[in-house]
């Protein structure tokens, strides 16, 4: 059994966007704060901090999850991806990100990183997904600017494009 | 919002977890998927001195048949049960209820038994367990016991779990031949807490419904068969029996109306799946 006393720090190690990271955390440190303050990646946004708004959504071992509902110490050994992993290179957008830009899928952008991580997981797991699955994944996110319509259109457009790419590679 | 400080113990075996809970007594809480507990920690509605993490205990990760039951270990995440290939065949009611439970993003982490331990009066898994007359397997360092769902849920976020005790597994009775199931829910948005949720179980000779979101815990009632003229009266009596309350989401009167209408619809759907 491993024991970490209150106010004591432990080195937490996991894979973040393909690279190993390590930093110290108290037991009570949330994974969202660990990623932002200890690692320094601020793309993961913190909204409600009780699992309702979805702004802090990241991928843990391939599945979308709320970073504010995990302790950093629970992430030991996990494979984690944040919004910073999406861009294929400096100054370039992924298919999904480009579709958001094209369809005006964001205004203030605060909720966008979390939504992108949920939809990216959906696209990887189920490239055949349609409107219902997209809306189901979006139900775990709050956006107060767009009214969601343009986000759904962006996701469907990205799914379409990705299916065409896969087809043309066959 | 940040949790108050706590000692964090990651147990490698069930014995280690039980020892830790025994030692810490009432100051300890089990953490599994954390999707109900961590919000309570963040808002400091819960301030345990010790958290015992059970998610690295291999023995708690199983979904298995045990007689006529499906036994689900305390470490099984909701997404894992959702992806279990036998789910629709063995636990059709749970298969109907799971998509209503939180969101994809919370089901990926939250556990089946964690939702039972949290005992939210509007939650879908406690409702399913009550409807199917399942049971919960509890354990302390010194003894094991099995409690029926009816005796486990005591009230609003209150269960029969004692100091130093944890849920080891839950037993959901598997689908029996000649049984039909129905599930319906009304909430503000999909994935929100249910204003009212109804589960129905039907055979050729019997019908029952269970209701969440109205009383302080999910409750089950035997009702007349849908062809029987007494069903509407029975549903009306249940609606009045449930201590419906007004809150920001719905009035007590609206909830009673949901019990009557959603109750009938759900029983009819269970009957149709029987035919």
CA distance linking residue A152 with residue A35, whole number of Å: 28
| Residues A76, A2 contacting (CB under 8 angstroms) | no
For A32, phi then psi, to 5°, come to -60, -45
Q: What is residue B3's DSSP assignment?
A: P
Confidence of residue A29 (pLDDT cuts 50, 70, 90): very high
Q: CATH classification of A95-169, choosing from 3.40.50.300, 1.10.20.10, 1.10.150.120, 3.30.1360.120?
A: 1.10.150.120
> Which tokens in the block code for residue B107?
């089901």
What pLDDT, on the 0 to 100 scale, is given for residue A165?
85
Q: Which residues in chain A have their CB less than 8 angstroms from residue B53's CB? A: 74
Domain B7-53, what architecture?
A: 2-Layer Sandwich (3.30)
8 Å CB contact of A70 and B34: yes
Collapsing DSSP to helix, strand or coil, A148 comes out as coil
Contact A35, A58 (CB under 8 A): yes
CATH 3.10.20.30 for the A9-85 domain, yes or no: yes
CB distance from B83 to chain A under 8 Å? no
Q: What is the DSSP letter of A48?
A: S
Please, where in chain B does CATH 3.30.390.50 lie?
A: 180-274
Q: Determine whether B225 is exposed, middle or buried from the number of CB atoms within 10 Å of its CB (0-12, 13-18, 19+).
A: middle
H or E stretch at B141: none
Residue B143, helix vs strand vs coil = coil
Across the interface, whether the CB atoms of A71 and B8 are under 8 A apart is answered: yes
**To the nearest whole angstrom, how far is the Cα of A146 from the nearest Cα of chain B?**
17
Q: What is the pLDDT of residues A122-164, one digit of tens each?
A: 999 999 999 999 999 999 999 999 999 999 999 999 999 999 9
The answer to whether the Cβ–Cβ distance between B1 and A49 falls below 8 Å is yes
- Where exactly are the structural domains of chain A? 9-85, 95-169
**Least CB-CB distance to B10: which of A1, A28, A54?**
A1
Q: Within chain B, which residue ranges are assigned CATH 3.30.465.10?
A: 62-173
d(CA B70, CA A65): 27
| Digit-coded pLDDT (tens) for A50-105 | 999 999 999 999 999 999 999 999 999 999 999 999 999 999 999 999 999 999 99
pLDDT recorded at residue A170: 60
Residue B43 with chain A: CB contacts under 8 Å: 50
β-pair partners for A71: A30
Nearest CB to A69; choose among B20, B38, B55: B38
CATH class of B180-274: alpha beta
Q: Does ipTM top 0.85? A: yes
Interface test with A, best of B24, B29, B105 (most A CBs within 10 A): B105
Question: Which position has the token pair 């990646």?
Answer: A41
Q: Do the Cβ atoms of A27 and B55 come within 8 Å?
A: no
What are the DSSP E strand ranges found in chain B?
7-10, 28-31, 50-53, 63-66, 69-73, 135-139, 144-148, 153-155, 158-159, 166-173, 180-186, 196-202, 207-212, 219-223
CB of A113 within 8 Å of a chain B CB? The answer is: no
Contact criterion met (CB < 8 Å) for B9 and A3: yes
Low-confidence ranges of chain B (pLDDT < 50): none
Architecture of the domain delimited by B62-173: 2-Layer Sandwich (3.30)
CATH code 3.30.43.10 region(s) in chain B: 7-53
């Amino acid at each position: 059994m491993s024991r970490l006393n209150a106010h004591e720090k432990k080195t937490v190690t996991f894979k973040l966007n393909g690279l190993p990271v390590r930093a110290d955390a108290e037991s009570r440190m949330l994974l969202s704060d660990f990623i932002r303050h200890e690692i320094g990646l601020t793309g993961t946004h913190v909204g409600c901090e009780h699992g309702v708004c979805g702004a802090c959504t990241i991928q843990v071992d391939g599945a979308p999850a709320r970073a504010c509902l995990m302790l950093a110490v629970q992430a030991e050994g996990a494979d984690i991806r944040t919004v910073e992993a999406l861009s294929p290179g400096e100054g370039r957008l992924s298919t999904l990100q480009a579709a958001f830009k094209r369809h005006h899928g964001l205004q203030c952008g605060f909720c966008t990183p979390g939504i992108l991580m949920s939809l990216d997981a959906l696209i990887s797991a189920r490239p055949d997904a349609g409107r219902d699955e997209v809306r189901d994944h979006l139900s775990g996110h709050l956006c107060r600017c767009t009214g969601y319509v343009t986000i759904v259109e962006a996701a469907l457009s990205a799914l379409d494009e990705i299916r065409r790419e896969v087809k043309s590679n066959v | 919002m940040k949790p108050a400080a706590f000692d964090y113990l990651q147990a490698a075996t069930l014995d280690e977890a039980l020892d830790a809970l025994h030692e810490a007594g009432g100051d300890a809480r089990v953490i599994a998927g954390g999707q109900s507990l961590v919000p309570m920690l963040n808002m400091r509605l819960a301030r345990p001195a010790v958290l015992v993490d059970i998610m690295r205990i291999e023995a708690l990760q199983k979904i298995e048949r045990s007689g006529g039951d499906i036994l689900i270990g305390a470490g099984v995440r909701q997404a894992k049960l959702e992806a279990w290939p036998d789910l629709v065949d063995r636990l059709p009611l749970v298969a109907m209820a799971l998509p209503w439970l939180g969101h994809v993003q919370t089901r990926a982490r939250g556990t089946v038994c964690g939702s039972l331990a949290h005992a939210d009066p509007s939650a879908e898994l406690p409702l399913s367990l009550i409807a199917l007359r399942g049971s919960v397997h509890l354990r302390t360092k010194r003894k094991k016991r099995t409690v029926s769902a009816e005796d486990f849920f005591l009230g609003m976020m209150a269960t029969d779990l004692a100091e130093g005790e944890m849920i080891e597994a839950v037993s959901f009775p598997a689908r029996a031949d000649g049984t039909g199931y129905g599930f319906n829910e009304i909430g503000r948005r999909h994935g929100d807490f249910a204003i009212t949720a109804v589960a129905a179980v039907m055979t050729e000779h019997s019908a029952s419904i269970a209701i969440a979101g109205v009383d302080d815990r999910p409750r089950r009632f035997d009702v007349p068969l849908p062809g029987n003229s007494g069903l509407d009266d029975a549903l009306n009596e249940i609606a009045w029996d449930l201590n419906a309350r007004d809150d920001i989401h719905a009035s007590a009167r609206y909830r009673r109306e949901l019990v009557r209408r959603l109750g009938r619809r759900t029983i009819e759907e269970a009957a149709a799946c029987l035919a």
